[in-house]
Structure 1
Amino acid sequence: MKRIVYLFVALLMMATADAQTLTERQKGLAACACLMAQGDMNRLEPTVRMALNKGVTINELKEAFSQLYAYTGFPRSLNALGVLSKVLENGRSSESHPSLLEDGRVVTDEGKANKQPEWQEGKPWKRPAEWDDAKKAYELGVKNQTQLSGKPFNYEFCPQDDYYLKSHLFGDIFAGDQLSAADREIVTVAALSGLDGVAPQLAAHKQGAVNMGNLKQQVDELCTWLCNEGYTLNTKWPKGEPNPYGKYFIGQSYLADVGGGVMNVTFEPCCRNNWHIHHKQVQVLICVAGRGWYQEWGKAPVEMTPGTVIAVPAEVKHWHGAQKDSWFQHLTYHKDVQEGAGNEWCEPVDDATYNASSYRHHHD
């Protein structure tokens, strides 16, 4: 009897633990929302495939991208819907298509017909009754906003915005039944995590996500997962301003002076600097966020993740930069500096060299 009780308790604990973690479906929704908010349509396309493969329905993605226009604007909402339409058109074509791996990557197989993806349409869209009754929409909005905020909220400074928030965002939009209120806040937190300058709103919606039915552990896991997977740059180090040495980089980078001769360099996904040489000085690189690459001339690339420290010897030709699907941030300073020390910039890192780093990483 005791064994049965112990087994029951163990199974209950396992079920509880599973319920406290994000599902693969929620991660798919979050990744799409985050990239849409950043306007990164190139990365969004394979991520949409990944989300659909993980159980997110077509109508759920439509609803998520539509909802987020209130946070990111119509242009990005429409662009994201365009990406979804393109993915569906390609996936449903009768022609042969590349194979879709679980993570959304594409593998071509010339001359061989590939199995078409089995993506779910989801719950059919229907016009909410609140759209035809402004009073009902407003009342629903007040109810949703109060639950999300944890208390009644009135933006008296600007009555127009107060009305739009209640009647339209939390009324008209939340009236749709393709996404639950809990999932809507997962989508919102993910989108705000990908934007700069919205820290107060992100903090409010993280608590709002809990108030709307998610567990705090799930919300914390969401923010950590988005960073670890390279969708956001969750870091305490300043991003800085656009890099004044940008002409020696492919892609966008940022530079911040953190004091004591230490600089913080932030790379957007795919960004890397040119091959270069530090003469008569050693450069130290310390990864503090995201994932990147470091490579010396004639040697294999080395992956950099938070905590990786590399001392670049003087007179060694090398480059470093972000991985294709991740932001990357490292601190850098020089030591053993001799008289006449300097930096020599060389040729850009061509696509073949850069892509080989990613290929090696996925096949090692």
Structure 2
Amino acid sequence: MANESELSPQRQATAAIAAFTATGQLPQLRDALADGLDAGLTISEINEILVQMYAYAGFPRALNGLGTFMALLQDRHGEGIDDPAGDQPTPLPAGTDVLALGTENQTRLAGAPVQGPLFDFAPAIDQFLKAHLFGDIFARDTLDWQSREIATVAALANLDGVEGQLTSHLGIALNSGLSPAELRGLVAALRSRVGPAAADRAGELLDQVLADSRS
């Protein structure tokens, strides 16, 4: 049986923040944000989770999440709580080719070059994924790749109709260095912090991904 203790409290909070941001459940998000701060996530780390969510759930959800976070921080400051700011991302070297960097990052995470008829049909989305998501965003070192994949899996698990993308990112999560036990811990954290629907969706697909990896 999955045990959420396999996942650190910070990463459990990351999952809940991402899941509720993706679906726009702002009261639940506010609670998850407070839990994340209390678990030791910095303001910069939480900002990064919320910013990344625009790539999976759109700008409106990400902006609403950031607004909710701002209001929470103001309330906590008024209560005398000074949360740690954390580090800003290290700037990329001048002249970095983000398309080449993103292609390299995507290939490493996916385990092979990502290509197919969809990207031939709409090459712009291929370029945006490589240059912006896996280049600009994944190159930001405020979060490590494992934390980014926990956020992504949690967000996709809490959305309807994105099982294909969720399956892909469960595989990417393994390639990022997360263990099967940690991913089962993520499923358990989704069950206790988000709800059974997200946990069941992620758990069933994780079983398939792990079975395929052993075959």
Does the alignment reach a TM-score above 0.5? yes
Cα 1:128–1:87 shift into 2, 3 Å: farther
SS at match of 1:188: helix
Q: CA RMSD of the aligned region, Å?
A: 1.9
2:59 alignment partner in structure 1? 74
Identity value in percent: 36
1 or 2, which has the higher helix percentage? 2
- Contact (CA 8 Å) 1:35, 1:231: kept in 2 or not? no
- Contact (CA 8 Å) 1:185, 1:205: kept in 2 or not? yes
1:138 alignment partner in structure 2? 99
Q: What amino acid is aligned across from residue 152 of structure 1 in structure 2?
A: P
Q: Following the alignment from structure 2 to structure 1, what is the Cα–Cα distance between the partners of residues 39 and 200? A: 28
Cα 1:92–1:188 shift into 2, 3 Å: same
Q: Deviation above 6 Å: which 4+ runs of structure 1? A: none
Q: Following the alignment from structure 2 to structure 1, what is the Cα–Cα distance between the partners of residues 45 and 196? A: 22
User: Alpha-carbon deviation of 1:230?
Assistant: 3.5
Q: Following the alignment from structure 1 to structure 2, what is the Cα–Cα distance between the partners of residues 62 and 152? A: 30
Pairing partner for 1:57 from 42, 50, 63: 42
Pairing partner for 1:166 from 110, 130, 133: 130
1:195 alignment partner in structure 2? 159
Q: Following the alignment from structure 2 to structure 1, what is the Cα–Cα distance between the partners of residues 200 and 143? A: 30
Which structure 2 residue ranges, 5 or more long, are not aligned? 202-215
1:204 alignment partner in structure 2? 168
1:25 paired with 2:10, answer yes
- Contact (CA 8 Å) 1:32, 1:48: kept in 2 or not? yes
Tell which structure's C-alpha radius of gyration is larger: 1
Pairing partner for 1:123 from 87, 108, 112: 87
1:151 paired with 2:112, answer yes
Q: Following the alignment from structure 2 to structure 1, what is the Cα–Cα distance between the partners of residues 81 and 34? A: 9
Structure 1 length-normalised TM: 0.51
Which structure 1 residue ranges, 5 or more long, are not aligned? 1-19, 98-115, 237-364
Q: Following the alignment from structure 1 to structure 2, what is the Cα–Cα distance between the partners of residues 28 and 228? A: 11
Q: What amino acid is aligned across from residue 64 of structure 1 in structure 2?
A: I
Q: Which has the higher contact order (CA 8 A, sep 6+)?
A: 2
Q: Following the alignment from structure 1 to structure 2, what is the Cα–Cα distance between the partners of residues 78 and 52? A: 19
1 or 2, which has the higher strand percentage? 1
Tell which deviates more after alignment, 149-158 or 167-176. Answer: 149-158
1:39 alignment partner in structure 2? 24
CA-to-partner distance for each residue in 1:149-192, whole Å, 9 max, x for gaps? 11111232321111001000000111111001111111101111
- Contact (CA 8 Å) 2:9, 2:39: kept in 1 or not? yes
Structure 2 length-normalised TM: 0.84
